[in-house]
Amino acid sequence: MIKKAEKIGANALIGVKVNTESMPMANKQSSMLIVTVTGTAVVIE
């Protein structure tokens, strides 16, 4: 996320939100962790 923000000329991220969810796998002995991150890239002078 930081690299993408820098690529478009931003120098800060605001409103960053991290969501996680665990999804059981078919064998039911393990699970997969799903992570999503959102935010807004901005230029602060």
If phi > 0 it is left, if psi is from -120 to 50 it is alpha, else beta; for residue 3 that is: alpha
Q: Which pLDDT band, with edges at 50, 70 and 90, does 18 fall under?
A: very high
The pLDDT value given to residue 29? 85
Cα separation, 41 vs 8, in Å, equals 8
Q: Is the CB of residue 1 less than 8 Å from the CB of residue 37? A: yes
pTM: 0.67
* Mean of pLDDT values over 19-36: 92
Longest dimension (CA), the chain: 52
Cα separation, 38 vs 20, in Å, equals 12
Q: Is the CB of residue 13 less than 8 Å from the CB of residue 41? A: yes
